[in-house]
Structure 1
Amino acid sequence: MSDMRTSRERTVRSLYAAYLDDRKNVVGAMLTEDFTFSSPRDDHIDRATYFERCWPGEPVFRGIHIEFLAMDGDEAVVRYRAEKLDGGSFRNIENLRFRADKIASVEVYFGRNL
């Protein structure tokens, strides 16, 4: 495995850990300045809007478990299971694109509630 691939895989895993621990500053350092986020609810929102909409004021999750992670060039695909504090859980898939060592975009594909 190349050093860049290993570094990017660590970044992906650190992204979800930081989200779970509400460490916005850690994630901010992982993202490019022109980062975009897309989901069925958000169409290429910018970095500032991503932090406003996608980072809850109160903790929501008790666990985020990466079930599948594939790296190919500048892209990563992640399937994860998120466990909410209220007892619910769901599974999503995300496509992350890198530019150098930072995440330039994330596209989320919502899964089902479990």
Structure 2
Amino acid sequence: MTDETDTVREKTVRALYAAYIDGRKDIVAAMLAEDFTFSSPRDDHIDRDAYFDRCWPKPPPFEGMEIEYLGLAEDQAVVRYRAIKRGGGAFRNMETLRFKGDKVAAVEVYFGREA
């Protein structure tokens, strides 16, 4: 993996979280591989359509996401973030993102606790 690839992937990860806060499905859809899957304690390898239906409520539920850790290795990224809820409260989660080329092929979410 080149430093250039890491830089592109880091920018993609940061842009994905920013787009989520802004409710910009159009931006995120362009970042995802056609065979994208999403997993969490509530979802088991759901596809793109189910991901957008289940995980993108309107209005967006968060007013901010602070990336506290972002690590890249080979075709994966690990992210720990603090999500700030609209109306108060916050929590931390960790996610792994797997890339296929310059697209996000899979996201796995590990729920954290209130922060």
- 2:5 is aligned with what amino acid? M
Unaligned runs of 5+ in 1: none
- Which deviations, in whole Å up to 9, do the C-alpha atoms of 1:40-93 show, x marking residues without a partner? 000000000000000012121111000000000000000000000120110000
How far apart are the structure 2 equivalents of 1:36 and 1:71? 19
Q: How does 1:1-114 map to 2 (within 5 A)?
A: 2-114=3-115
TM-score, normalising length: structure 2 = 0.97
Contact 2:82 2:92 in 1 (8 A): yes
Unaligned runs of 5+ in 2: none
How far apart are the structure 1 equivalents of 2:81 and 2:100? 23
How far apart are the structure 2 equivalents of 1:13 and 1:23? 13
Name the count of aligned residue pairs.
114
How far apart are the structure 1 equivalents of 2:19 and 2:8? 16
Percent sequence identity is 64
Give the alignment's Cα RMSD to 1 decimal.
0.8
Runs of 4+ in 1 over 6 A off after TM superposition: none
How far apart are the structure 2 equivalents of 1:60 and 1:5? 29
- 1:73 is aligned with what amino acid? E
